[in-house]
Amino acid sequence: MKIILIGPGILPIPPKGWGAIEILIADQAEMLKKLGYDVYIVNDANKEKAIDRINIIQGDIVHLHYDEHIDWVKEIDCKRIYITSHFGYLSSYSTNSILFKNSFIFIFIRVLTKLIPQKITYLFGIDTKKRNLIEYYYIFKKFLKTTAKVICLSKEIENTYKNYNSKAQLTVFHNGARVDLIRYSENAKYPEDAICIGKIEIRKKQSYLQNINNIKFVGPIVDKKFNKNNRNYMGTWTRDYLFQNLTNYSTLVLISNGEAHPLVCCEALIAGLGLVVSEEASSNLDKSLPYISVIKQKNIYKKDYIYQTIKENIKISELYRKEIRKYALATFDIERLMKEYPPIKSIN
């Protein structure tokens, strides 16, 4: 059976450094090959070239991993086409439905964002998150009507599509990570330290958290407010270096205002770390577990509260390290997960 996985065409697959979608596609391809499937990766931003190659391969299954390629569905010659959105703010359409379900309000707000500077619209509650939702909405509407089967990265995303009366066939299948590549140690080398990993950008609030004690920061800097000379900044790590050294820490911190299903959380749990995450970054996690701490939206700008939560999580995670690893292997091992991959389950 031929399976074609389609990437954005922006970064190589696998990527040389950062690129969660590209890493996921590479890992899915590797696991599907292990299961005996004939797997192809098409990763070309040029629509004509990509579709020509896809149709020449004549795959039994085609899975698009890039939202902006949704229009390709109409031109792909395959009966079993799947698509996954990795847009970080997807579930926020449910909490902002008043803005988007009323066409008059939406058009009015959209015009405002085009005509008025962001600093002014921010005063009226139209922050960066809402701007992203507004800009993405035309793609979101296409997902509601697509003939492709939509694979949702979380139950929250599936419910969002249903809330907007999606006509598409929906299924939930969350991310996983490579247990065989991520080193695990029963004891952290830096047991009193947490780590924050990922592109340093406004959405993930690293600059706001930077002066909290006991947090190390890793990733390329996009947010100009982040001080690269701060002693807690560890620079940019390669993927291999990350997988070898992640287990040296006790807790992963991810305070983001928009995530579909962050791959880094899967990786951290596999490495034995506990989690301190925002509500928006908590999809697919068992929030009842003592080593998973979720910062509610009302507390997201209470720095002292976040600091205390991190301190408590570090202590707890040190005690539960073996349990963390066991939970991660049962829940986020991509080799195990891919045996339940919806496109092949629908045929077998």
Per-residue confidence (pLDDT) for residue 115, from 0 to 100: 73
* Closest CA relative to residue 191, chosen from 275, 240, 249, 109: 249
Q: Is the pLDDT of residue 348 over 70?
A: no
pTM across the whole model: 0.91
Determine the residue type at 117.
P
Percentage of residues of the chain with pLDDT beyond 70? 99
Would you say 281 and 340 are in contact if contact means Cβ atoms under 8 Å apart? no
Would you say 34 and 3 are in contact if contact means Cβ atoms under 8 Å apart? no
Per-residue confidence (pLDDT) for residue 123, from 0 to 100: 63
Per-residue confidence (pLDDT) for residue 124, from 0 to 100: 64
Strand ranges of the sheet holding 274-278, from the earlier edge strand across to the other edge: 215-218, 190-197, 249-254, 274-278, 292-295
Distance of alpha carbon 332 from alpha carbon 309, whole angstroms: 24
Could you read off the pLDDT of 236-247 as tens digits, one per residue? 999 999 999 999
Q: Is the pLDDT of residue 197 over 80?
A: yes
Rounded average pLDDT over 301-321: 95
Would you say 30 and 3 are in contact if contact means Cβ atoms under 8 Å apart? no
Could you read off the pLDDT of 265-304 as tens digits, one per residue? 999 999 999 999 999 999 999 999 999 999 998 999 899 9
Q: Is the pLDDT of residue 104 over 90?
A: no
Which structural domains are found in the chain, ordered by start?
Answer: 2-89+136-176+334-345 (3.40.50.2000), 93-133 (no CATH), 190-331 (3.40.50.2000)
Distance of alpha carbon 60 from alpha carbon 177, whole angstroms: 25
* Closest CA relative to residue 189, chosen from 275, 272, 263, 293: 272
Could you read off the pLDDT of 49-74 as tens digits, one per residue? 999 999 999 999 999 999 999 999 99
Please compute Rg for the chain using Cα positions.
Answer: 20
Mean model confidence pLDDT for the chain: 93
Percentage of residues of the chain with pLDDT beyond 90? 81
Could you read off the pLDDT of 153-175 as tens digits, one per residue? 999 999 999 999 999 999 999 99
Rounded average pLDDT over 168-187: 96
Q: Which helix (H) or strand (E) holds 277?
A: strand 274-278
Per-residue confidence (pLDDT) for residue 110, from 0 to 100: 81
Rounded average pLDDT over 98-121: 78
Rounded average pLDDT over 305-327: 97
